Structure 1
C-alpha cells in the first residue's frame, strides 16, 4: 500500500494517477431520522421544528447520493455504511480511502476505527471529510443573538463540502490531491482497573475525564510522569496533586481550537506537534493548597517523553473520547493513562 502511494505521488505529469481503488463511505444518522424514530414511539419532543430538520436531512441525503455516485464512477469498489453501524471489520486492510459524509462528528467517529495500534507511522485508510450541510452565509451573521440558532456543522475537519464535492472528491479519489494529506497526531488512552485494562480508541480532538453528572464534583489525583516511570527530582515537567473540579480536558493540537479554546486553553499551537494540552476545569482550590503551584499546574502541555496519569477518587466517573458518543465508565481507584503515543491519522486537510 505504501509503495502504491509512492508511485501515485511520483507519477509523471500528464499520466493518470493510480488513485484509490477501494472506498468506504461512512454516512451520519441525521437528527431527523433519530427524532422520527422517537415520534413513532410517542417520545419525540413537542417543540421540534420538523420542517427545519427535514430540510437539513434532505440536504444531507442529496450530498450522500452525490458522493456515492462520484465514488462509484472513480473507484473499483465502494461500500456505504451508516456511522452508527460502522465497526472494525468495515475498515479492513484493503480499504484505502474512507470518505466521511456529515460533519466533524462523523469524521471523529470514523477515525476511531482507523488503526489504533501504537506506532510512529500511520496505518489504515486516508480519511476525507465531506461536510454534507454547511452553514449558509446569512446564517452565520449574529447567530448567537437570535432567538433561534441556525448554525450547522462547522466542518473544520472536512476537506470538501456539498458545494464543491463534484470537483474535489473525484480528484481526491484519483490521487491528484495527495499533497493535501496531513499526518495528524492522536492521543492514546488506557484505563486500568483492579482486574482489567482497557485501551480506548485514539482521540483525534480531545478527551474529557469527569463525573457523569455535570453538577457533581470530580475528585482525582493528577500526575505528569516520565514514560519510563523513573522519577527525576530535577525534571520540572513532573508533578502530582489532588484535584476537586468539574473534570479534566486533554486535547491534541488538532483539538486545540475546539472545546479546549472555549474552556480557556491555548489555541495557538502547531498542528504538527505531538504535544498534548491539558486543562483542569473550574479547579476548587482549598485553603490548605499551594495556590500558586496548583494554578500554575492546572493548565499546561505534555511532550512525547511524558504522560498524564489520573487516579479517579470519586465513586462514579466517565472518560469521553472525541465527544459523548464514545465513553467508558470509571470506578473509584481506576487509573487513566493519557499519552501522545497513538498511531497518527492521515487526513485531507485545508490547514497549512
Structure 2
C-alpha cells in the first residue's frame, strides 16, 4: 500500500471525526438535551426522542433505521462527502470516492442551518417506504429501508426459487421459476443503489412500490421480460426457496437471516415508513 493511499485513508478518518466533533459542538450551543451513541452500541429500539441525527453516511442512517419506528424522524449528516477534484487527481492510483450520502440532507457546512430549521418547525420530514419481510408467515422485526438480497451462501452456486405477485390473496401473475445468482428487491430509497447498478431503474424517492430484479437468470426463455418488475403498494411478492440453504440480507451484510429448502418469503411495502429529512435538491429531482 502506497504512502499516498495511507494518507488518503488517514484523512478520511480525520474528516469523519472532525465532523462528529463539529456536530456535537453545535448541539452544545442549542437549548436541547442530546446524547451521543456509537452505531455499534445500538441494541434497543430508539424511543422517547424528538429527533435522531446520524453522522456518517447512508450506512449509518440505515443501521439506525433498524431501531426506529415511524414516530421519530431522522436527519442524516454526511461526515465525509466525496471531493470531485480529489477523485480526478487520484484516478490513476486508486478510487478516491468518499461517502455518497444520498439520504443525508446535511453536511458540516449546512448542519447548523438545517438543524435550526428543524427546531423552528420550518422543515417537514419525508416518509420513505420500508419493506416488510416474513419468513414462513413469521414477520422479521427488521424492516428494509434500502433493499433485500436473497441468494445462496456461496456466490458461485445457483439459487433456485419461484415467485409470484399477489393481491388480497389472489394471484396476479403465473408462478415464475428461476435458476440464477439470486433475487434483489429494493424500495424507492434503495433504487439508486445495487439494483440500479445491476440494470434496474431509479424510482421516485417517495414511491411506495418495490422493484425486483433476478440476478443473472439462467436461460429464462420466454419469461426473460418478467425477471425484472415492480410490486405495487397493495400487492405482495411470495417467494419459495428450493436450495438446501440460503441467506436473506437486509440493507447490506449486517442483518442476515438463514433460510432453507421449502421456506417461503413474503415481501411488501407494508412496514411502517421512516421519517427522513431529505435535501430539497433531492426532492426537486424526484422524477
Question: What is the TM-score when the length of structure 1 is the normalising length?
Answer: 0.75
1:178 and 2:178 aligned: no
CA distance in 1, matches of 2:267, 2:176: 16
Larger Rg over CA atoms: 1
Q: Structure 1 residues 248 and 66, CA, compared in 2 at 3 Å: closer, same or farther? A: same
- Unpaired stretches in structure 2, ≥5 consecutive residues: none
CA distance in 1, matches of 2:217, 2:231: 19
Q: Structure 1 residues 87 and 209, CA, compared in 2 at 3 Å: closer, same or farther? A: same
Residue equivalent to 2:73: 126
Deviations along 1:252-274, whole A, 9 cap, x unmatched?
A: 1111121111110121x322221
Q: CA deviation at 1:176?
A: 4.1
1:245 and 2:180 aligned: yes
CA distance in 2, matches of 1:73, 1:239: 60
Q: Structure 1 residues 188 and 133, CA, compared in 2 at 3 Å: closer, same or farther? A: same
* Secondary structure of the structure 1 residue equivalent to 2:36: strand
Residue equivalent to 2:170: 230
CA distance in 2, matches of 1:75, 1:159: 22
The answer as to whether partners of 1:185 and 1:343 remain within 8 angstroms in 2 is yes
CA distance in 1, matches of 2:97, 2:61: 18
The aligned length equals: 280
1:212 and 2:153 aligned: yes
Q: Structure 1 residues 142 and 238, CA, compared in 2 at 3 Å: closer, same or farther? A: farther
Residue equivalent to 1:105: 59
Matches within 5 A, 1:32-111: 49-89=5-45, 91-92=46-47, 94-111=48-65
Q: CA deviation at 1:323?
A: 1.0
Q: CA deviation at 1:47?
A: 7.7
The answer as to whether partners of 1:71 and 1:170 remain within 8 angstroms in 2 is no
Q: CA deviation at 1:210?
A: 0.8
Q: Pick one of 129, 133, 141 that aligns with 1:189.
A: 133
* Secondary structure of the structure 1 residue equivalent to 2:207: coil
CA distance in 2, matches of 1:210, 1:142: 38
Question: What is the TM-score when the length of structure 2 is the normalising length?
Answer: 0.91
